[in-house]
Amino acid sequence: MQASLVHVLRDFDKQVESSKDLMSKVKNLGLTRIGIEIITELAFLRIFIAWENFLEASFIRYLVGARSPSKYRPRRLISPRIMSHALDILSSDREYINWNSASLVILRAERYFKEGEPYKNAIQAATLDLNDMNTIRNRIAHKSKISKDKFNSFIRRKFGHGRRGMTPGRFLLTALNANTTDNFIDYYVDIMRTASRIIIP
């Protein structure tokens, strides 16, 4: 497979747009509030998985020397020749490579690219929000006490107090503040999109 970065960004955008389109369409289907919240959770989960896939796909391609559409190429600290070899190197420590932890992605980038770029600055600037997104992701994907407690702590931090009956979907549909109709899912999507364009300029 050719180590091209053009389709990596395109694929991420396509996943985001199809998920947002789904959210837009369900509003006109007469679903209950809970039904809309569940669809929102599924859309967010799909977008966050697309973000994780974007990180892995771009990372592997940069490792084998691919250039971005603007001809940017990071300085590599190792030089695998093919993508399967790059993936073997990344997964040598463990069977599953974690891309949902901002700090782990930064550490990995520093290990394989000079000064950790193009990942370090893009992800450091969004670390708090990316960690919050991961908390939301885990609450949607796992019904464990740990994921529930972390989500409730996140809600208390965000609003200054707990909110009874708050679900990930309800939170994602909540307006950022009283002066805007923009909600948290739109805010988080903008952060991922901005970071993706710094990583692949």
Please state the domain extents for the chain: 6-199
Residue found by looking up tokens 């691919």 in the block? 66
The predicted structure's pLDDT at residue 95: 60
Given this model, what pLDDT does residue 179 score?
85
pLDDT tens sequence for the chain (201 residues)? 456 899 999 999 999 999 999 988 887 787 889 999 999 999 999 999 999 999 999 999 999 999 999 999 999 999 898 898 888 888 876 667 899 999 999 999 999 999 999 999 999 999 999 999 999 999 999 889 999 999 999 999 999 888 888 999 999 999 998 888 889 999 999 999 999 999 999
The predicted model scores a pTM of 0.92
Question: Which pLDDT does position 31 carry in this prediction?
Answer: 85
CA 17 to chain centre: 14
Query: Is-cis flag, bond preceding 118, omega within 30?
Result: yes
Q: Which residues contact 144 (CB under 8 A, 6 or more apart)?
A: none
What DSSP string runs through the chain? ----SHHHHHHHHHHHHHHHHHHHHHTTTT--HHHHHHHHHHHHHHHHHHHHHHHHHHHHHHHTT---TT---PPBSS--SSHHHHHHHHTSS-SS---S-HHHHHHHHHHHBGGGTTTHHHHHTTHHHHHHHHHHHHHHH---HHHHHHHHHHHHHHHSS--TT--HHHHHTSBSSTT---BHHHHHHHHHHHHHHHH--
Q: Which two tokens stand for residue 45?
A: 């989960």
